[in-house]
Chain A
């Protein structure tokens, strides 16, 4: 693992590329190996990020390339933070984020707990449950608009069948009160398996010996659940929340296909709102500032959360 290994003289002659590579020191080889990755990430992630920050200080519009570019300082940021529509979007995002996390954690954990009872055929059923999350959110989201149609939609029909109401009496994506829940339902359907898988890994990581010891102490199974199962699985659960949190903060494809932000703007999450500003209204400078704010928010929240997660892990 140190530089001296490379100074050994090779016994075999090597042709072409391998010869040239072979004569490199470990240090050089490391950079040859990492270089392209770093370069691509700089070109497609960091350079654009810097460009975004620069654009966010201007009034640039990508659809008017021949207009004068003006520096407007922090005016875009000021406008965003005082824009009530954007605060509405943030609220819609918060509602979506919180409820999807709550539902996915509860259902996901419950499923993992049940699957961990190792009944016959649990592998097969786990794989079936996992299917929705591997599919294209845009394609699946689009099809859910069909399932949500009053009268002819499967979802409305099933609910009507169970509750005895008329399937045309409610419209999941047309009603202001129901639409925020319509997107929560589909996201939960799609991503609960994700939380479930991580929880399952957490539950399976708990050694049997701990339960056996508790059993000897005559601890009730209720008590075992709260003192052993939950604390031991907590780091895994928190990791699941982190991943789902970041993903749902960025949420775009599924919701844009389901509701397009409507009715009104009750389901207009920040990504959808940002897309309108950037690619429909073409207010590039303004949208860049918006993008920077979103990135800082997700990055900041994630960093704080990761610190908390590390503390839980250390306990």
Chain B
């Protein structure tokens, strides 16, 4: 009996081997070091159990993430088999052959891009944009939104004072003008014996912080990357009067209503400021939200969420974040890596992913009738994902981004020049880059 049992086990293993890749591999997945990554480690245990492959992870903190990983890709490194790379890398990674094209694989496995939220497919998977060429599977939906201290907003004495001062109720703002009123209202206010401040916004200089924050505001003020009818024609769009007003607004918000020493803050500084009860409003990516719900200080219903408010003309957009998962072309374990993506795309896995704090992009998960009520922030996430725009995803994105970082930081934080000069300068920087690329 025993020997027969052994034979059947061996046969089963053989069959499993043939259906998947030939042998058990050590797969390395590269991503940013943040809460969702820890959740993915937990989630992946199921894959390890089912496939026999083992998963290793290389997580790099956000400020160094792009630097380290792009360096890795550009040096043809074999560290990562799977890469959850930022949305803006897709152009460069596709054109320079860092990622494996996934169209054939999707067709063979019956994975349909129509099943994923449209904005995430365009944002995370397609290059060139709006063409059916897929280089990644949408893995983590993310968007810039806002959190506020609901418990403070609900205090009767603050409500009364606010109403008297501004003639309306103290509630989540509908427009950016309202947002600034609220931030000013809370700035330097004494709450429970502590001085608090208005808002935490992105100002980081080194990687992409201030660009993500300022663009998040600029879109709703009328900023456009290019002439919709003439690609790469930027003069009058990037530096339109609306865009100038938007950048001036961002500086005004930075000057009036942020905590002292906020000159170089991004996601983690925002989390710290909000959790420690320093600020009433906080701009941050949606990925931070599950962490607030479970926090001792701001969890348990003390935190409210709202999508990016509207600009002066009623336009309402938000900065896209998030990533797709790709197979690195330098990897020698591409089959096993594809197996992982196949497993990850399954609706049951995606549902579990959302439960664990991963923002799934699968419509089957987000359009489920129970979704909006599943978490306090679920509806805000859906509203925000409906209005997203993203930064350039061109192969030269890093150059374009670095120029933006410098122009914005120089104006908003360092206070040099005017908003008009900053955006005019940006047009000329970007034009130069596109000329170098032969696109102009």
Q: Do A and B come from one complex?
A: yes
Chain A residues with CB under 8 Å of chain B are: 59, 62-66, 85, 149-151, 168-169, 171, 173-176, 259-266, 276, 279-283
CB of A32 to closest CB in B, whole Å: 35
Interface string of B398-438 (1 = CB under 8 A from A): 11001000100111011110000000000000000000100
Known: A263-B413, A276-B402. A174 touches B206 (CB 8 A): no
Decide if B95 touches A64 in the complex (CB within 8 Å).
yes
- In the complex, A286→B416 CA distance in Å? 27
- In the complex, A265→B260 CA distance in Å? 20
Nearest B residue to A176 by beta-carbon distance? Answer: B414
Interface string of B43-72 (1 = CB under 8 A from A): 000000000000000000000000100110
- In the complex, A182→B411 CA distance in Å? 20
List the A side residues contacting B414 at CB < 8 Å.
Answer: 176, 262-266
Nearest B residue to A272 by beta-carbon distance? Answer: B206
Chain B residues with CB under 8 Å of chain A are: 67, 70-71, 74, 92, 95-97, 205-206, 260-264, 395-396, 398-399, 402, 406, 409-411, 413-416, 436
**Cβ-neighbour of A174 out of B71, B262, B398 (below 8 A):** B262
List the B side residues contacting A280 at CB < 8 Å.
Answer: 67, 398-399, 402
Nearest B residue to A283 by beta-carbon distance? Answer: B399
- In the complex, A209→B436 CA distance in Å? 69
Of the listed residues A168, A175, A264, A266, the one surrounded by the most CB atoms of chain B closer than 10 A to its CB is A264
Q: Give the interface SS of chain A, mostly helix, strand, loop or mixed.
A: loop
Nearest A residue to B96 by beta-carbon distance? Answer: A64
Q: List 17 A-B contacts (CB under 8 A).
A: A65-B96, A66-B97, A85-B406, A150-B260, A169-B260, A171-B261, A174-B262, A174-B264, A176-B416, A262-B206, A263-B410, A264-B406, A264-B411, A265-B410, A280-B402, A281-B399, A281-B402
- In the complex, A262→B412 CA distance in Å? 12
Decide if B415 touches A176 in the complex (CB within 8 Å).
yes
**Cβ-neighbour of B413 out of A65, A168, A174, A260 (below 8 A):** A174
Decide if A264 touches B96 in the complex (CB within 8 Å).
no
- In the complex, A171→B264 CA distance in Å? 11
- In the complex, A66→B98 CA distance in Å? 12
**Cβ-neighbour of B96 out of A59, A66, A169, A173 (below 8 A):** A66
**Cβ-neighbour of B260 out of A65, A151, A260 (below 8 A):** A151
Decide if A168 touches B96 in the complex (CB within 8 Å).
no
List the A side residues contacting B409 at CB < 8 Å.
Answer: 262-265
- In the complex, A168→B278 CA distance in Å? 13
Known: A63-B70, A282-B74. A174 touches B436 (CB 8 A): no
Decide if A262 touches B205 in the complex (CB within 8 Å).
yes
Decide if B263 touches A261 in the complex (CB within 8 Å).
no
List the A side residues contacting B415 at CB < 8 Å.
Answer: 176
List the B side residues contacting A259 at CB < 8 Å.
Answer: 264
Of the listed residues A151, A260, A262, the one surrounded by the most CB atoms of chain B closer than 10 A to its CB is A262
